[in-house]
Each structure stands twice: as structure tokens, then as C-alpha cells.
């Protein structure tokens, strides 16, 4: 039953190809096809083929230059968390003497990477200036009481970025820690826990301003 639930989540979170990707995959083969070479006169081919190649490269560039979508990354992180929760134990590969994550965890992790949901080092460069603007910061409980819950900030790809992110949030008074992602994606960062809706909402706002793409309350994690 759990496998079926995760399968449904994974299918829901599957990323459809963007129009720019489809355009680039169409134009590149067309630019090199025999149809173009045999149908049009030589002079026209020499003018048409570079144009098709240029359009294809522009389309491909637009695919990779697109900013990550926070709402899509949020859905993918939810699917990733569900996979890690359902299948927490990696498999040992005796041939390579390494741990292999469960297939569902690996699949969900690849979707995070492909959709650029991991937090880049450059995205966090504004933290020192933000810390100055927020200082002095006092965590204040407000709004309705909630059960204690931490925030998952995101996944960073280096110990250096983990260190400066933890320093930033600890400097604002938050408890913060990092743990390794089970499939080698990087370091998962958490702050909290929070016991009021107001404090939770403020911390989520600060996390987004700090450069994290899709911070969210981590319902499967105990701090």
C-alpha cells in the first residue's frame, strides 16, 4: 500500500518537458537532416541551416537558463521526503563497497537535481547583508499554537555552504543543523522546531530571502 502511495506521488511529480526543450530537440535533427539538404538549393541550405542551428541552441539555452519554480520544487521535495520516509534503508553493493539508495529515493533525487531545486552557492551570497538588516533579531511566538515542527531549508552541495547557512540562522537565534542526504545529493539543512504559526511563517520568509528556493515545514522529521 505504501509503495502504491509513493508511486502515485512520483507520477504526480514527474516533470513534463518544457516547450523550449521540445523545440531544441526538433530543430537540431532538422538542421542536419537529408530532407533539408536534398529539398533546397545549395545556397539556400547554407543560409537556412545556420539559422536552424542558432534557433536550436537558443532554445536549449532557454531551457537551462530558466529559474527554478518554487511551487514545483515544493512538490518535488514533498515526493522526495515521502520516498526517504517510506524507503530509508540503502542497499550495500558488495562489488563497489558502496551504499546504493532505494530506486524511489534515487528517482526523486534526480528530479530535484534536474529541476534545479538544490540551493546553489551563489543563491546564498546575500545572507551577510540580510543578517545586517535583520539584526538584532528576536524570535517571537505569535498566532495560533502548533505542534512542534522544524523547517527544511533546502539541500546545499558543499560543507562550506552548510557552514555559512548554519552560521547565518544561528546568528538570528534559531537552532540549526545539517544532515547528509541519503542519496548523496548534498547536505539537508533544518531549523527549529517551531511551536507557533507566526514564528514559523517568519522563519519561512527569512529562509526565502536568504536564497533557499522552497523551504517548508518538515512533517516527517524530528529535530
Look at residue 170 and tell me if it is in a domain: yes
Task: Walk along the chain (223 residues) and give the pLDDT tens digit of each residue.
Answer: 433 433 443 344 333 334 444 444 554 455 455 555 455 555 444 555 555 445 544 444 444 457 899 999 999 999 999 999 888 777 767 777 677 788 899 999 999 999 999 999 999 999 999 999 999 999 999 999 999 999 999 999 999 999 999 999 999 999 999 999 887 899 999 999 999 999 999 999 999 999 999 999 998 777 6
Q: Are 118 and 155 in contact (CB under 8 A)?
A: yes
Residues 188 and 135 in one domain: yes
CATH number of the domain that residue 203 is part of: 3.30.70
Residues 87 and 131 in one domain: no
Q: What are phi and psi of 66, to 5 degrees?
A: -60, 135
Q: What is the DSSP string of 43-98?
A: HHHHHHHHHHHHHHHHHHHHHHHSPP-HHHHHHHHHHHHHHHHH--PPEEETTTTE
Residues 186 and 201 in one domain: yes
Look at residue 222 and tell me if it is in a domain: no
* Alpha carbon separation from 7 to 29, 118, 184 (Å, rounded): 34, 23, 22
Look at residue 47 and tell me if it is in a domain: yes
Residues 53 and 96 in one domain: no
Look at residue 202 and tell me if it is in a domain: yes
Query: Which parts of the chain are beta strand (E)?
Result: 91-93, 98-100, 145-156, 176-180, 187-196, 216-217
Residues 8 and 110 in one domain: yes
Domain count, the chain: 3
The span from the CA of 21 to the CA of 25, in Å, is: 6
Residues 145 and 192 in one domain: yes
Look at residue 223 and tell me if it is in a domain: no
Look at residue 153 and tell me if it is in a domain: yes
| pLDDT at res. 20 | 44
| pLDDT at res. 165 | 98
Residues 57 and 150 in one domain: no
| pLDDT at res. 2 | 38
Look at residue 154 and tell me if it is in a domain: yes
Residues 26 and 88 in one domain: no
pTM: 0.69
The span from the CA of 9 to the CA of 76, in Å, is: 9
Residues 153 and 188 in one domain: yes
Element (H, E) at 168: helix 159-171
Look at residue 198 and tell me if it is in a domain: yes
Residues 98 and 190 in one domain: no
Residues 181 and 145 in one domain: yes
Residues 133 and 186 in one domain: yes
**What is the domain extent for residue 180?**
122-217
Q: What are phi and psi of 7, to 5 degrees?
A: -60, -40
Amino acid at each position: 500500500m505504501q509503495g502504491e502511495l509513493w508511486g502515485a506521488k512520483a507520477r504526480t511529480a514527474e516533470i513534463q518537458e518544457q516547450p523550449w526543450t521540445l523545440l531544441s530537440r526538433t530543430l537540431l535533427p532538422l538542421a542536419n537532416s537529408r530532407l533539408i539538404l536534398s529539398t533546397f538549393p545549395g545556397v539556400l541550405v547554407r543560409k537556412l541551416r545556420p539559422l536552424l542551428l542558432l534557433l536550436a541552441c537558443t532554445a536549449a539555452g532557454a531551457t537551462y537558463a530558466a529559474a527554478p519554480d518554487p511551487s514545483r520544487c515544493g512538490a518535488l521535495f514533498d515526493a522526495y521526503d515521502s520516498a526517504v520516509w517510506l524507503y530509508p534503508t540503502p542497499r550495500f553493493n558488495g562489488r563497489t563497497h558502496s551504499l546504493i539508495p532505494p530506486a524511489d529515493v534515487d528517482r526523486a533525487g534526480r528530479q530535484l537535481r534536474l529541476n534545479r531545486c538544490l540551493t546553489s552557492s551563489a543563491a546564498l551570497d546575500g545572507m551577510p547583508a540580510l543578517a545586517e538588516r535583520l539584526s538584532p533579531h528576536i524570535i517571537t511566538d505569535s498566532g495560533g499554537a502548533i505542534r512542534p515542527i522544524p523547517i527544511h531549508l533546502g539541500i546545499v552541495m558543499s560543507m562550506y555552504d552548510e557552514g555559512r547557512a548554519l552560521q547565518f540562522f544561528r546568528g538570528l537565534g534559531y537552532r540549526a543543523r545539517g544532515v547528509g542526504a541519503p542519496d548523496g545529493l548534498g547536505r539537508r539543512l533544518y531549523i527549529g522546531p517551531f511551536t507557533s504559526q507566526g514564528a514559523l511563517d517568519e522563519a519561512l520568509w527569512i529562509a526565502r530571502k536568504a536564497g533557499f528556493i522552497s523551504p517548508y515545514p518538515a512533517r516527517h522529521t524530528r529535530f
